[in-house]
Amino acid sequence: MKRDVNIPGSESTPVDGGRRALLKAGGSLVIGFTWITGSKALAFAKPTPQPGDAALARADGNPAFAPNAFIRIGSDGSIRLVMPQVEMGQGSYTGQATLLAEELGVDLDQVKLEHAPPSDDLYGLEIQGGEITGGSNTIRACWELLRQAGAVARTMLVAAAAKRWNVPVEQCRVERGVIHHDASHRSLGFGAVAADAARQPVPTAPVLLSAKTYRLIGKSLQRIDTPAKTDGSATFGIDVHVPGMKVAAVALSPVVGGKVAHVDDRAARSVRGVVDIVVLEDAVAVTAGDYWTAQKAVAALKVRWDNGANAQISSPQIVAELAEVSRTGHAIVGKETGAGTKPGSKQIAAMYQSAMLAHATMEPLNTVVSVRKDGCEIWVGTQVPTLVVAAAARLTGLAPEKITVHNQYIGGGFGRRLETDSVQQAIAIAQRVNYPVKLVWSREQDIARDFFRPPYHDHLVATVDAKGHPVTWAHRVTGDSVLSRFAPNDMPKDGLDPDTIDGAVEPPYAIPALKVEWCRHDLPKSVKIGWWRGVGAAHNLFPVESFIDELAHAAGQDPVAYRRALLSDNPRARAVLDLAATKFGWERPLEKIDGLRLGRGVALGTSMGTLICAVVEVGVTAQGDVRLRRAVVVADCGQVVNPNTVEAQLQGGLVFGLSAALWGDATVRDGRIEQSNFHDYRVLRLNETPTIEGYMVPSTASPTGIGEPPTAIAPPALANAVFAATGVRVRRLPIAHATLAVAASASKQVVI
């Protein structure tokens, strides 16, 4: 379905691209991810008016009341809320709107939501280091900010009404956008006092509502975007259609770094409907009136490629080099405690391997671009709108304020849309033609040109006491650094990428002596790397929780009881473990099913500040097929804003992690990614998905992240369940089903 969007004035109003969009350091575009590095930009979003607000309000039609960058109230009573974090399926718009609406005194059915324009000053979050959506930071970063923004607006509106009535503000209350003075039975809607409210003093320390009075926070609310996504009216990037637009399909170099050597486009030009053929350094684009015509012409192109030196790279070489660096490489210590502790009497060691992973979002990458002499307009679903502005300014030579970005709903991000590569390609094509261009990558191109989660090797060694409990614990992580590629100037001076050891340096258990270190090994340039859902913990919780399970087995103890014994000084983590075990019914014996070896596994850890525990039950066939039967996942993520959203994230995140553990493996052969679509880069299908129960530990603490922790905890819970069912210890992901079938027939414990 096409949806027309007028270039001069679409639903997303053109605005200033922002002064801080372009950060230059050594010629590289960088931005500070404070949730990893602690670096800071010069200014961030605030709940009160900022220098850029006036210009933004003018560009937004001069609403009667715009007390900050997030709230727009018209004289007609209309209420628009501007979302600093983009919606990509995680329910963030509903969560952000809930925080604003709670303090503003309105309900969700009274508001209209809008995507924030690109501006680090007005919409950048300090914990993110800019206007960035990622790291499961939406609610925890906006918890104070957006409630304060709503409180600022409410305070000014009530003050305006009280002044008109000549009554104390304490005698006024707000309900559904109406200010009431019960003693005199008078009331005024927000629209009636909007202009007066704009002239009220701005409170610098607005009083927030008591948690006891919450009407919205903590309640299971319907997502605001559900109706539009149900009836098809929601506009994703791939839906955008602008007047005069042509669609571009591309032939991409099969090897990253390869170049076009020669093009024979005669057959392609003969395809009816082809408009232009544009040759770039590493791609050939065809534009037409529709995607399928352009794709048909691309298939008719005869391109000879210069693949370059990267064509020599293959996965076996990458794996072998990782293993060698793990044994002999220089390590940077990330954390060391308990130095001088006397080791336990028995030593246990294990090596784990994690494969390279693709994002494989449901919506392939796409961008609509219109380049003119006096400006550039972009329609795209992106996690980094200010980086899009920066890239466009660099490529076009235009000032950032001449770049307009209309952000759209995103059909899955998972970290992939932190990159601007497809946007840059769309701009390069649009610069060669005189009409707007919509670039769409095929699913195969989307996977082949992904920024992959790097593969890792993990070597763990523990000594245990007479009870089998760890006395010393050493964990060496070997792998590449995403941070050094994405934001090299944000790398700490000691050279340690904190992401590589996230989830390993703070285990919930009592371990007297702990040492975690990282060996850096850069992958070949033909393999682009990026952040993947769950980031560091999504890799590290697999070796850590698998190894804890190995220690429990070596001690001859139940995995849950073993973990409980190590949590005596961590009651919060123990509460999460106990709730998961209780809800699953850990003590109950498993039923017997012919043809299936049944087992259940448990894993506990911390990701994005959230304590997360999963219990997974599997049945394994004689052929090595792993059938997921049931899962329970429990989170302590602080104050829950919307239980419906948290439950959905617990379920969806677990499915994402289980899929990766079962099949996720992006492999390279002759410089080319071998996988191309969902037939060979598998995800769980509906009939393969287990029953998933999600639970939240009640808490009044500040919210923590929830979108990624379930993904991080799924692989170790699954691997431990496979061991319980078969006696096969999985030390490499994804799970090798054929090997599992052979190994499971052995008479004793084996390792794969």
Compute CA distances 576 → 523, 569, 710, whole Å: 38, 14, 13
Model confidence at 57, in pLDDT bands (50, 70, 90)? confident
Q: What is the pLDDT of residues 73-90, one digit of tens each?
A: 999 999 999 999 999 999
pLDDT tens digits along 380-425: 999 999 999 999 999 999 999 999 999 999 999 999 999 999 999 9
DSSP code at position 453: B
Q: Are 535 and 415 in contact (CB under 8 A)?
A: yes
pLDDT of residue 539: 97
> What is the location of CATH 3.30.365.10 in the chain?
31-230, 237-308+365-440, 456-751
More confident residue, 623 or 463: 463
Q: What is the pLDDT of residue 53?
A: 83
Q: What is the CA radius of gyration of the chain?
A: 27
One-letter identity of residue 108: L
At 748 the pLDDT is: 57
Residue 707 has pLDDT above 50, yes or no: yes
Give pLDDT tens digits for 636-676. 999 999 999 999 999 999 999 999 999 999 999 999 999 99
Band (477; pLDDT cuts 50, 70, 90):
very high
3-state secondary structure 268-302: HHCCCCEEEEEECCCEEEEEECCHHHHHHHHHHCE
Question: What does the pLDDT read at residue 744?
Answer: 62
What integer is the mean pLDDT of 314-337?
A: 96
Q: Any idea what the Cα angle at residue 432 is, between residues 426 and 433, rounded to 5°? A: 95
**Burial of 92 by CB count in 10 Å (0-12 exposed, 13-18 middle, 19+ buried)?**
buried
Say whether pLDDT at 464 is over 70. Answer: yes
25 pLDDT exceeds 80? no
- Residue 40 pLDDT: 42
Residue 15 has pLDDT above 80, yes or no: no
The pLDDT-based confidence of 740 (bands split at 50, 70, 90) is confident
The torsion of the CA quartet 339, 343, 344, 348, rounded to 10 degrees, works out to 100
DSSP 689: P
Residue 188 has pLDDT above 80, yes or no: yes
Per-residue confidence band for 746, with pLDDT thresholds at 50, 70 and 90 = low
Amino acid letter at 452?
F
Statement: residue 9 has pLDDT above 70:
no
Give the least confident one: 28-32, 280-284, 670-674. 28-32
Residue length of the chain: 752
Angle value at C-alpha 510, between 508 and 516, nearest 5 degrees: 70
Within a 10 A sphere around the Cβ of 6, how many other Cβ atoms?
Answer: 9
CATH 1.10.3720.10 fits 31-230, yes or no: no
CB atoms within 10 A of CB 339: 7
Categorize the per-residue pLDDT at 51 as very low, low, confident or very high, splitting at 50, 70 and 90.
confident
Predicted TM-score of the model (pTM)? 0.93
pLDDT higher at 239 or 741:
239
Q: Does domain 237-308+365-440 have CATH number 3.30.365.10?
A: yes
Angle, helix 709-726 to helix 737-744, in steps of 10 degrees: 30
Reported confidence tier of residue 2, pLDDT bands at 50, 70, 90: very low
- Assess whether pLDDT exceeds 60 at residue 7: no
Query: What integer is the mean pLDDT of 446-466?
Result: 98
For the residues 547-557, what does the mean pLDDT come to? 98
Question: Mean of the pLDDT values across residues 120-146?
Answer: 95
pLDDT at 11: 34
Please give the span between the terminal C-alpha atoms of the chain, in angstroms, as a whole number: 48
User: Region 320-329: what's the mean pLDDT?
Assistant: 96
pLDDT at 10: 29
456-751 — its CATH code?
Answer: 3.30.365.10
What pLDDT, on a 0 to 100 scale, did the predictor assign at position 526?
83
**Residue 71: both structure tokens together:** 């709230």
Is residue 129 over pLDDT 80? yes
pLDDT at 171 over 90: yes
pLDDT above 70 covers a percentage of the chain that reads 93
Which one, of 557, 467, 566, 455, lies nearest residue 508 by Cα? 566
Mean pLDDT taken over the chain:
92
The residue with tokens 């009535």 is: 165
Which one, of 577, 590, 737, lies nearest residue 665 by Cα? 737
Residue 18 pLDDT:
31
Angle at 113 between CA 108 and CA 114, to 5 degrees: 170
Q: What are the pLDDT digits (tens) for 528-549?
A: 999 999 999 999 999 999 999 9
Q: H-helix or E-strand containing 668?
A: strand 668-669
Using one digit for the tens of pLDDT, what is the confidence trace for 438-455?
A: 999 999 999 999 999 999
Residue 691 identity (one-letter amino acid): T
